[in-house]
Structure 1
Amino acid sequence: MKTVGLIVEYNPLHNGHVYHFEQSKAVTGADAAIAVMSGHWLQRGEPALVNKWARAEMALRMGADVVLELPVAYSSQAAEWFAYGAVRVLNDCGVVDSLCFGSESGSIDWLSGLAERLYIEQDDFQQRLARRLEEGMNYPAAYSAAIRDWVGEEGGRLNEPNNTLGLHYLIALRRLNSPIIPATIARHKAGYHDRNASDAHIASATAIRQWLGSGRQKAGLEKIRSYVPSYTLEILLRELEAGRAPISWGRYMQPLLNQIVTRSADELRLIHEVSEGLEHRIKRCLAGWRPDKSEASTVGEAAFEALIEQMKTKRYTRTKLQRMLVRILLNHRKAQLTRESLAGGPGYIRVLGFSAKGRLLLQRMKKKAACPVLVKIPGERPPFLEMDIQAAGAYSLGYSQPSSAELLRDYYQAPLRIGSE
């Protein structure tokens, strides 16, 4: 069975994702697809719009055969470790033949050449990157500038987020000496950050989330109807009516502030992503923090936006700060997420759901995988899995009516099954 791997968030799954899914199978000639999907906390340092089980269901109903969870240790990281973690999960499965990702360029050749060069000449590039960071640039800008210094103006194409992620997928494949064959397809019609739709059926997930989070969710559901599959709409409505959507940072302001105010600056400095004196900036910013309800649809959203605005500088982007706040909220310490621990991989493969065909894939995976394939929580848990369970519990605090069943759902929820056995 020829199998393609996909690295996804599906936040939420929309028509552009369906296009990518169908094209990925066509381009690679795959018979089956395995999706590695971020859990509750995402790459840009945000909580997912709906929980991982709802998004896994969307993926399975689209046609994915197996949905695996990307551990939170990797899912809320910058491109290097996000990409490495996801590729590591696919590689460790032992059954994935190809990886197909979306990119703005739609060309694999220049990305592959750049990835090979970066892998071989890493020290030279890191020196260029360090010089740019010393000039006061934020990391994404410094990275793009260092690439341009190194390879010329073609490096400017890495200003596009999917090109950058694609580059890091290819570097990760090289680091792992993986047999997985990469492929890419051009992003279709809507850009990653587009907040408006210029097409009748394709809109970015950013635009869809904005419409759903506007304060009138039922009206938002109607607005997105033409941009998402019917099953996405059905699942979103179910989650909305259950008080489990739409989830955003505004729902976590009280627990987040509790974590900040009950820690000293020295304690905050031990948290992953708190670097270069940010522990002091966080404390100072509280003094000038003035939430303005007129600036957002809810008090919580206004409070979060005000906090981000207080902390933002030229050096620290919104995404960097959001990732840091995820780690503060979840109490993820630097000692837990060292380069050595991340490079070692998760040490497990967590199954969120599968189809009838996926059941056959799982049987193969259990024989060929490089680490345990988990369909239930074991008694002895790897450190990153413990972090996933805790992150899921923290996420459920954002529901309208948190319950013990939701707080502990990861312990008893069996993988979702779609299709006849």
Structure 2
Amino acid sequence: MPTVGIIAEYNPLHNGHVHHFEEAKRRSGASRSIVVMSGPFTQRGEPAALSKRARTEMALRMGADLVIELPVAYAVQPAEWFAYGAASLLEATGVVDSLCFGSESGSLAQLLPLARFLAEESGPLQREIRRRLALGESFPAAYSAAAALAWRDRLGEGGPAGAAGSSAGPAEPAAGQGDAAEGSAGSPGSGSGLEDLLRRPNNSLGLHYLIALRRLGSGIVPLTVPRLGAGFHDPLRPGASIASATALRGLLREGGSPEGYMPEYSLSILRREQTEGRGPLDWESFRSPLLHLLSTRTAAELAGLLDVGEGLENRLLRVVTELERFTVDGLLSALKSKRYTRTRLQRMLLHIMLNHGKEEFSPESLSKGPGYIRVLGFRESGRPLLKKMKQSAALPVIIRPALCSDPMLVRDLQASSAYAAAFANPLRSDLYSDYLQPPVMV
């Protein structure tokens, strides 16, 4: 019985996610599915709108058989490490046959050859990225431009065939597996077209999934589904049934209703969480604890935390004292620059709030991959899959976190408690839900 893996945040789960899930099952021919989902904080450095338990329930009601948590060590990282952590978990389960992700291109024909090349992480590529960062470019812009330049240089040395390399990597998709059949043909091309391809957020993240599978030597077959309807930054469109999660979170902040954009079970869970004071949350929900931390730490203490460097610690403390009224949005707006994007700054604030040290979250540490598979929930139909995973997994499968002392898991538990503390009236069962509540079951 084939199993497809999906990497998601479901923040919140909407009709576009349902489309992707159904297409992933159809294109992969899988009868079972495993979702790797971010916990309380997301890749763009934001608090999730709803708790991981609520979003897990949404995923299970959609039809996912099993949901496992992407550790916070990877969930709040740039695309490279986010993708590596998630792909490592799917590989470690020992039961996943394919990985299906959404992309703007809707095709692997351009992404696969480029992933094979970039998986080598050439020295010139890294030097070009550092050079562009020193000139003030943001990391996404520097990476896409450097990757395009490196690919053009490789084409000049011998063409796409030379870029494929001979290192181990994901199995080439077989004919008949939807768009994946294009994977062994085609080329990313050259010039500004490639750079534009990589600047699209889903293409970029998908590329990093492919690179991660390559580096892991994984046999998981990659598949992609074209992003349907609204783009990442597109506003809500009257009469449409699909909107981006970004637009829906904005609607929720304004007090609007996302009815029509979310399946009924997802909308029902959202309303329940609203009624019980457990969301939706955003950065302003954490204004007080963040201000407390920024008011009681020195520049030297901040400089030891992840993503705080290059004098940002001094600028951060100065800007805090200059704000007439402290809001997280106001702080981010004052700090934002051409070099420091809002996403980069949001991740920095999360690392400050969660006390993530540079050494603990170093590339050397992250390259080892997660040390456990944390089960957030499963359907009744997923019990056989869970049983099989326990027998085949290369990592411990964690049902009761109290029985595991992995340092990364400790950070997950701390993140969940910090998140729940922002509820309207947090209960003990909210603050310590990881210890007190079993996995979500549907």
Please say whether Structure 1 and Structure 2 have the same fold, judged by a TM-score greater than 0.5. Answer: yes
Q: CA deviation at 1:119?
A: 1.4
Equivalent in the alignment of 1:252 = 286
Name the CA distance, whole Å, in 2 between partners of 1:258 and 1:364.
46
Q: CA deviation at 1:121?
A: 5.1
Name the CA distance, whole Å, in 2 between partners of 1:100 and 1:198.
29
Equivalent in the alignment of 1:312 = 336
Equivalent in the alignment of 1:174 = 214
Is the CA contact 1:79–1:168 (under 8 Å) kept in the aligned structure 2? Answer: yes
Q: CA deviation at 1:122?
A: 2.2
Q: Does 1:404 align with 2:428?
A: yes
Q: CA deviation at 1:335?
A: 1.8
Is the CA contact 1:197–1:207 (under 8 Å) kept in the aligned structure 2? Answer: no
The 5 A counterparts of 1:138-217 are 138-151=138-151, 152-153=191-192, 154-197=194-237, 200-214=240-254, 216=255
1:171-226 deviation digits (Å, cap 9, x = unpaired): 00011001101010100011112222265211111111111111x3xxx22xx111
The one-letter amino acid of 1:241's match is T
**What 5-or-longer segments of structure 2 have no aligned partner?**
152-190
1:42-100 deviation digits (Å, cap 9, x = unpaired): 00000000000000000000000000001100101110000001101111100000000
Equivalent in the alignment of 2:178 = none
Which of 376, 379, 391 is the matching residue for 1:352?
376
**TM-score computed with the length of structure 2 as normaliser:** 0.89
Is the CA contact 1:39–1:75 (under 8 Å) kept in the aligned structure 2? Answer: yes
Which of 237, 243, 246 is the matching residue for 2:271?
237
Name the CA distance, whole Å, in 2 between partners of 1:12 and 1:286.
31
**What 5-or-longer segments of structure 1 have no aligned partner?**
292-301
Equivalent in the alignment of 2:179 = none
SS at match of 1:172: helix
Equivalent in the alignment of 1:111 = 111
**TM-score computed with the length of structure 1 as normaliser:** 0.93
The one-letter amino acid of 2:411's match is M
Which of 334, 340, 348 is the matching residue for 2:364?
340
Identity of aligned residues (%): 52
Name the CA distance, whole Å, in 2 between partners of 1:11 and 1:353.
17
The 5 A counterparts of 1:19-418 are 19-120=19-120, 122-151=122-151, 152-153=191-192, 154-197=194-237, 200-214=240-254, 216=255, 220-221=256-257, 224-291=258-325, 303-418=327-442
The one-letter amino acid of 1:274's match is V
- What is the aligned-residue RMSD (CA, Å)? 1.2
Name the CA distance, whole Å, in 2 between partners of 1:75 and 1:228.
24
Q: CA deviation at 1:36?
A: 0.3
How many pairs align? 402
Is the CA contact 1:189–1:199 (under 8 Å) kept in the aligned structure 2? Answer: no
Name the CA distance, whole Å, in 2 between partners of 1:353 and 1:336.
28
